[in-house]
């Protein structure tokens, strides 16, 4: 994390990590490290809502936004509780199953985004199963943005950082046209 201090990418940085990383370092220490490194948000996908209090308090105190995940199977009565814990945006998990690239955007992604948008003004971003610029644009007909992991990592592994930059520019252009 300390190396991030010297990196200026011109956009807000968010990290995604397992809760074990947070727990092992200590909630306050980890949140402070993120803040001192210029990270503005943390996504901790394996942290259950019911166990998020200590982390959320430490993150709030350090000025780090906590992004909670919302599954497409979440009942309507759970959604406001998830949103109440979110800072920055809510991560709408687009589909059930493993992450990775898909040929089409799952209908569950749009359905969940609609459910969330109906009850919050916090930005809703769809992640998991958003695999290309066309799908990102489709997602953003309802959602406020997308999270793409597998499609970015594939380009980084198979090509190079320039290919990632070109791809992100392509996605950004498609989303901006919505």
Count CA atoms within 13 Å of residue 53 on its CB side. 2
| DSSP code per residue over 18-83 | -HHHHHHH-HHHHHHHHHHTTEEEEE-TT--GGG-HHHHHHHHHHTPEEE-EE-TT--TTTHHHHH
Say if 145 falls within a structural domain: yes
Same domain, 63 and 114: no
178 inside domain? yes
Task: Specify burial of residue 22 (Cβ count, 10 A radius: 0-12, 13-18, 19+).
Answer: buried
- Co-location of 164 and 140 in the same domain: yes
pTM of the model as a whole = 0.92
Angle between helices 150-158 and 161-176 (to 10 degrees): 150
Is 27 in the same domain as 48? yes
CATH number of the domain encompassing residue 91: 3.20.20.70
30 and 111 share one domain: no
107 shares a domain with 125: yes
pLDDT tens digits, residue range 8-65?
888 889 999 999 999 999 999 999 999 999 999 999 999 999 999 999 999 999 999 9
| Residue with tokens 């959602």, as numbered in its chain | 143
Q: Is 2 within the bounds of a domain? A: no
User: Which has the closest alpha carbon to 148: 99, 80, 111?
Assistant: 99
Tell me whether residue 160 is in a domain: yes
Q: What is the pLDDT of residue 26?
A: 98
pLDDT in tens, 61-80: 999 999 999 999 999 999 99
HSE-up (13 A, CA, CB side) for residue 90:
29
- Range of 37's domain? 11-67
Q: How confident is the model at residue 101 (pLDDT cuts 50, 70, 90)?
A: confident
Q: What distance separates the 2 farthest-apart alpha carbons in the chain?
A: 44
Does 94 have pLDDT greater than 80?
yes
Instruction: Decide if pLDDT at 167 tops 90.
Output: yes
What is the tally of structural domains in the chain?
Answer: 2
Q: Is the pLDDT of residue 98 over 80?
A: no
């Amino acid at each position: 994390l300390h190396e991030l201090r010297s990196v200026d990418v011109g956009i807000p940085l968010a990290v995604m990590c397992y809760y074990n990383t947070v727990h092992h370092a200590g909630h306050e220490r980890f949140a402070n490290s993120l803040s001192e490194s210029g990270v503005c948000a943390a996504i901790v996908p394996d942290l259950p809502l019911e166990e998020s209090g200590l982390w959320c308090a430490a993150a709030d105190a350090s000025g780090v936004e906590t992004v909670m995940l919302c599954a497409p199977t979440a009942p309507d009565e759970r959604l406001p509780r998830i949103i109440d814990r979110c800072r920055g945006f809510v991560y709408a998990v687009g589909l059930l199953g493993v992450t990775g690239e898909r040929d089409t955007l799952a209908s569950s992604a749009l359905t969940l985004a609609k459910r969330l948008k109906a009850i919050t003004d916090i930005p809703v971003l769809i992640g998991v199963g958003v695999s290309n610029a066309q799908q990102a644009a489709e997602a953003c007909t309802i959602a406020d943005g997308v999270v793409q992991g597998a499609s970015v990592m594939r380009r980084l592994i198979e090509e190079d950082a320039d290919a990632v930059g070109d791809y992100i520019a392509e996605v950004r252009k498609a989303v901006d046209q919505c």
